[in-house]
Amino acid sequence: DTGVSQDPRHKITKRGQNVTFRCDPISEHNRLYWYRQTLGQGPEFLTYFQNEAQLEKSRLLSDRFSAERPKGSFSTLEIQRTEQGDSAMYLCASSPGTRRKGNYGYTFGSGTRLTVV
């Protein structure tokens, strides 16, 4: 169990550029989540996948944001035409899919800190 890995750890980009982040979940976890955390706030839900299917999206996920999990393993989050308001920590988490076992509690990665200048 190597935990949830996120890459890159830090990204500085100019306003208007596109950025892509990657998340590798714990291998046996089939649920994957993206959250955004701005300074002084708790994490806010963006979207979640079960295997390769994107099952829930927040209204926070504007048209400039797209997330994929093509083979049900790693996931990418792309932000197009970045704005200064996109500056935040982007957190990925994963969890097992078997709720019957009461196996709740996500495992979070260390996050990608995005700064838009």
Partner 1 sequence: AQSVTQLDSQVPVFEEAPVELRCNYSSSVSVYLFWYVQYPNQGLQLLLKYLSGSTLVKGINGFEAEFNKSQTSFHLRKPSVHISDTAEYFCAVLAQGGSEKLVFGKGTKLTVNP
Q: List residues near partner 1 by CB under 8 A.
A: 4, 6, 31, 33, 35, 40-45, 48, 55-56, 58, 91, 93, 102, 104-111, 113
Cβ distance to partner 1 smaller for residue 109 or 116? 109
Q: Amino acid identity, residue 116? A: V
Q: How far is the CB of 48 from partner 1 (least distance, A)?
A: 5
- Strand, helix or coil for residue 85: helix
In this structure, which amino acid lies at residue 83? E
Q: What is the Cα–Cα distance from 50 to 21, expressed in whole angstroms?
A: 19
Buried-state track 1-37, b at ≥16 Cβ within 10 A, e below 16? eeebebeeeebebeeeeebebebbbbeebbbbbbbbe
**Cβ 16 to partner 1, closest distance in Å?**
27
52 or 80: CB nearest partner 1: 52
Nearer CB in complex with partner 1: 74/108:
108
**21 versus 48: smaller Cβ distance to partner 1:** 48
User: Largest alpha-carbon pair distance within the chain?
Assistant: 46
- As measured in angstroms, the least distance from the Cβ of 30 to partner 1 is 12
